Structure 1
Amino acid sequence: MVDSGAGGAILRTILASGPVPRSVVAKHAGLSPATVTWQTRALLEAGLLLELPETASGSGIGRPYSPLTLDTSGNVVIAVHIAAAQTTVAVVDIGGALRSSTRVPHRDTAPSHILDDAAAEIARVRATRSERVLGVGVAIGGRVDRDAGTVVEHSSLRWRDVPVRRRLEAVTGLPTELDSHTRALMHAEHLYGRLRGTASSMVVFVGNVVDMAFAVGDRVHYGPNSAAGSIDRMLGLAESRDGSARATVEQFSDHGLLRRARTRAPAAHTIPELIEAARNPGPAHDLFVERGVEMGRVTAALIDLLDPEAVVIVDRGFTGLAEVEATYLRTIGEYSALCARPAEVVSRSTFAGRVLETAGAAVALHGIFHTPLNALERKAV
C-alpha cells in the first residue's frame, strides 16, 4: 500500500523548493531515498508530478539528474467562497496560481438558492477548462464542521445545519470539501505563504465575520465542537439570549463599519470605497483606525494566551492603509505582555487581492498536499 503521508511530504517539498532532484526531496522531506523513489513513481503515475529533462549539476560534478516539479498546467481545483452578499467561484492550480475568478451575487440568503447558483457557476467554469479538476473547495465564515461537510451556524446568512458538501457533490458530481474561511486561510499560508515552516501560528480575520485560527506546526486546531477560533463572544458579537445584537458589533465587522459610515462618511457604500475615502484624513480614516485599536487589543490578548511564533492579520484596512497597520502594531505592542516588537511577529496576508479565491482553493488543496493518493481516490475528473 502506498504511504500517502510520505507522498504529501514529497509534494510539499517540491512545492517549496522545486524543481528539484530526488536527493534534495529526500533530504528536505526527511525520507529515505528508497521511499522517495517509489513514492515519486506513484505520484508521477497519478499525474501530480512531472519529471523534467535530465540535467547536469551546476558545478558539472556528479551524475546528471531529472528534476521533479508539480504538474501545475494539468491539475486545478475549483474554489468557492460564500460571503454575506455574494459567492466567488475561481479556478486555482495546484501551485496556488489563480487562473480565473467570477462573482455571483446572492438572490437571497436561502441555502438552496445560494448553493444552486454556486453549482451552476461551477458547471459553467468547469466546461471552459481543459485541465483535470481535482475537486471543489468551499470556504465560508461561521461555525463549520469540516468532517461532516456542514455549516453548523452562520449568523449573517442565518444558516444552521446546512449540508453544503452533500448538496454540492450531488449536483456537480465533483468531490467537495468544506471548511471555515479563517482555517482555510491558515492552511493556505502554510502551503503557499508566510507561515510555511513556522512552529506555531495564528491568523486573525476581520471582515463580515471576525474570528481566528491557531496551528501548531501545520496542524490547525479545530476542537471537538468545531468551534476553535470562534471569538465572537469575546468580542461581544454573539447575540444575547433575547436575540438582540450587542452594540459592540459596530466596532468590529465590515457590516458594522459600513453602518457607522452611513452617518460619518455617507459617500462610501462598500468597504473598497470606504478604504479609498480613508486614504485622506476624515471620518472614514477614523473608522478604520478605531477598529485597528480595538482589534489590536484583541490580537494582543490572543498573542498572550497562545504565544504564537507568527501572526497573520487579514483585514482590508490593515492591508490597504499604512496608518491602520501601524495602529494595529502599536496597539499590540502596548497591550501585549509577550510581543514587545510586533513588526517581527505580525504580518499581513500573503494573498492580498485574492484572499477569497485562495481560501476556497486551500480547502481542496490541503488534502492533496497531505494525503494525495487518498484524495485522488475520490475520483478527480
Structure 2
Amino acid sequence: MTTSTAPRSGDDRRDANAAAVLRTVLDHGPIARSRVAALTGLSASAVSRQTVDLVRLGLLHERPEPAGPGTRAPGRPQLPLDLDPDRLAVAGLHIGLPFTTVALLDLRGRVLVRKEVPNHGRTGPGLLRPLLARLPRLLDRLRGDRTVVGLGAVTGGSVDPQRGLIIRHDPLEWRDLPLSALLADATALPVQVDNHARALTLAEILFGHPAARRSMVQLFVGHVVDAALAVAGTVHLGPPSVTGDLGHLPVSGTVTDPDADSRERCHCGRLGCLSVAASDTTLFAAAAAAGITAGPDRAQLAAAVRRGDPAAGRLVRNRALIIGRALALLADVVNPDLVVLTEHFTALDPAHLDVVRAEFALRSHLHRDAGLLITQRRGRDVLAVAAGAPVLGELYARPVHALAAAPRP
C-alpha cells in the first residue's frame, strides 16, 4: 500500500462526510440532495458542500432530469445526484497461477475492459519481471479517455495490505515480495494490495447482497484455497495480516472418492487438508490422470462437463461435496448472515451449487438454511472485480484522501 501523510482531524471529518454522501449515492442514486441529507443526517448545507467537492473530484455528477415529485425544495429545481460513469476508473490486477487478469472498473465495480495474460508456467521473478515491464503500456491502452485513479493488485495466499507485501504464495513461489512498491514504481499509480478472498468480500459489501453488510464468509476455491470474514461491513484482518488459513481445514473425501480419506500430503505435512483435497491443482490433475483431459487444464475439464461426460461430472460433484462439508464447518463456527462461494464450476452451472448446498445443509449442526449460501454472480468478471475492489474500498471509505495522491486529467 502506498504511504502518505496522515490526514488531520478536520480532514478526517471532511472525508467521513464525503464518504457518507458518496455511499448514499452508491446505494440509492440517482437521488436528490434533500434525500441524501435525510438518509445521512447531514445538514442540507453540508451535503451541498460535499457534493461540490465530489463533483469536482469526478466522483459524482448531476443528472439532467429533475429529481421528481416530492423531492423539490424551494428555489431552483434539484437535479438528482448519481455516480459519474465516465470520468474515472480504477485499475485491477489479479495474479493467478495460469494467467494474470488486468482490468478497468467503473465506480460501481462494473468491469469496463478485461484482458487475461497467460503466465506460461512462470513463477517467482520470472513471472513478475515481464509483467512489470508490460503493465504501464497495457493500462495506457485500456484506459481510453478515463483517468485511472489507482491500481488494485490481489492474489492468493498470505498478503499484508498495510505493508503491501505478499508474505507467502506457495504456487507462485513468492516470499516477502514488496508487490505494492514494485507496482507503484512501474505505473506511478497509488497501489492497494490484498488477498483475493478479502477483496471479493469487500466487493460484495459494496455492490452485492444486502446481508453482506451484516456478516459474511467468503470461500475462494482455485489453485489456492482462501477464506475471508466480514462483520458489520468491515473485512477482518487478523495478525499477521491473515484472516485465517482455511486451506488447512481437515476435511473428508477426495475428488475421486468422496468417502475415502485423502492420501495426498499437504506442504504443511498433514493429510486431509482442504487445499489439497479440493484445489484446482488436485481437480485438474485427477481429470488428466483419468484420461478425461489431455493434461491438467480448466477449459478442457469444463468442456467435458458441459458435454455431459459422466467421469468429468463425478469429479466436479465430488469436489462440490468436499466444499459443502468445509462450508458447513465454517458456517457453524462463524454463524454468518451470508456465505459466498467463488468456484468455477458452481458459477458455470447452478446444479453444482445445489450439490454444495445439499451437503452444507446435511452437515451443518446449526441446520442453517442453505439459501444463505450463494455463488459469485459476476461470471468471468469475478477476478477482475476482486482486483479493483481494494482501490474502490479505499475510495468509498476516504474519497478525498484517496484521490489526493491520484493522477489528475
Matching residue within 170, 182, 205 for 2:185: 170
Partners of 1:249 and 1:199 in 2: CA distance = 28
Question: Are 2:103 and 1:90 aligned?
Answer: yes
- List aligned pairs for 1:142-157, cutoff 5 A: 142-157=157-172
Q: Secondary structure at the match of 1:13?
A: helix
Runs (4+) of structure 1 exceeding 6 A deviation are 244-248
Q: Secondary structure at the match of 1:232?
A: helix
Partners of 1:245 and 1:118 in 2: CA distance = 37
Matching residue within 232, 241, 250 for 2:247: 232
Partners of 1:221 and 1:307 in 2: CA distance = 15
Amino acid aligned to 1:125: L
- Which residue of structure 2 aligns with residue 263 of structure 1? 289
- Give the stretch that moved more between structures: 232-241 or 166-175: 232-241
Amino acid aligned to 1:254: D
Q: Secondary structure at the match of 2:103?
A: strand
CA shift for structure 1 position 350: 2.6
Q: Does the 8 Å CA contact 1:203/1:314 hold for their aligned counterparts?
A: yes
Q: Does the 8 Å CA contact 2:266/2:273 hold for their aligned counterparts?
A: no
- List aligned pairs for 1:51-90, cutoff 5 A: 51-53=62-64, 55=66, 57-58=68-69, 63=74, 64-90=77-103
Partners of 1:331 and 1:245 in 2: CA distance = 22
CA shift for structure 1 position 238: 4.7
Amino acid aligned to 2:51: T
CA shift for structure 1 position 214: 0.5
Partners of 1:119 and 1:71 in 2: CA distance = 32
CA shift for structure 1 position 53: 3.2
Q: TM-score w.r.t. structure 2 length?
A: 0.86
Amino acid aligned to 2:59: L
Q: Does the 8 Å CA contact 1:240/1:246 hold for their aligned counterparts?
A: no
Q: Secondary structure at the match of 1:288?
A: helix
- Which residue of structure 2 aligns with residue 354 of structure 1? 381
- Which residue of structure 1 aligns with residue 347 of structure 2? 319
- List aligned pairs for 1:128-147, cutoff 5 A: 128=142, 129-147=144-162
CA shift for structure 1 position 60: 8.8
Matching residue within 194, 215, 218 for 1:179: 194
Partners of 1:58 and 1:111 in 2: CA distance = 60
Partners of 1:166 and 1:127 in 2: CA distance = 23
Matching residue within 120, 128, 138 for 1:114: 128
Matching residue within 26, 32, 42 for 2:37: 26
Root mean square deviation of aligned Cα? 2.3
CA shift for structure 1 position 36: 1.8
Partners of 1:46 and 1:149 in 2: CA distance = 26
CA shift for structure 1 position 173: 0.8
Q: Secondary structure at the match of 2:78?
A: coil
Deviations 1:285-344 (A, max 9, x none): 11111111111111001101001001111111211133321111111111112243212x
In structure 2, list runs of 5 or more residues that go unmatched. Answer: 1-9, 252-264
- Which residue of structure 1 aligns with residue 58 of structure 2? 47
Report % sequence identity.
31
CA shift for structure 1 position 264: 2.0
Shift of the 274–156 alpha-carbon distance from structure 1 to 2, 3 Å rule, reads same
- Which residue of structure 2 aligns with residue 278 of structure 1? 305
Q: Does the 8 Å CA contact 2:132/2:186 hold for their aligned counterparts?
A: no
Shift of the 249–204 alpha-carbon distance from structure 1 to 2, 3 Å rule, reads closer
Q: TM-score w.r.t. structure 1 length?
A: 0.92
CA shift for structure 1 position 112: 6.0
- List aligned pairs for 1:200-349, cutoff 5 A: 200-235=215-250, 238-240=266-268, 249-267=275-293, 269-279=296-306, 280-343=308-371, 345-349=372-376
Amino acid aligned to 2:358: R
CA shift for structure 1 position 216: 0.6
Partners of 2:240 and 2:279 in 1: CA distance = 24
Q: Does the 8 Å CA contact 1:14/1:69 hold for their aligned counterparts?
A: yes
Q: Does the 8 Å CA contact 1:153/1:159 hold for their aligned counterparts?
A: yes
Q: Does the 8 Å CA contact 2:250/2:272 hold for their aligned counterparts?
A: no
Amino acid aligned to 2:155: I
Partners of 1:134 and 1:319 in 2: CA distance = 31
Residues paired across the two proteins, number: 378
- Give the stretch that moved more between structures: 280-289 or 141-150: 280-289
Q: Does the 8 Å CA contact 1:54/1:66 hold for their aligned counterparts?
A: yes
Partners of 1:157 and 1:246 in 2: CA distance = 22
Q: Does the 8 Å CA contact 2:302/2:345 hold for their aligned counterparts?
A: yes
Q: Does the 8 Å CA contact 2:34/2:71 hold for their aligned counterparts?
A: no
Question: Are 2:393 and 1:366 aligned?
Answer: yes
CA shift for structure 1 position 352: 1.5
CA shift for structure 1 position 25: 1.6
Partners of 2:314 and 2:208 in 1: CA distance = 30
In structure 1, list runs of 5 or more residues that go unmatched. Answer: none
Q: Does the 8 Å CA contact 2:225/2:274 hold for their aligned counterparts?
A: no
Q: Does the 8 Å CA contact 1:150/1:161 hold for their aligned counterparts?
A: yes
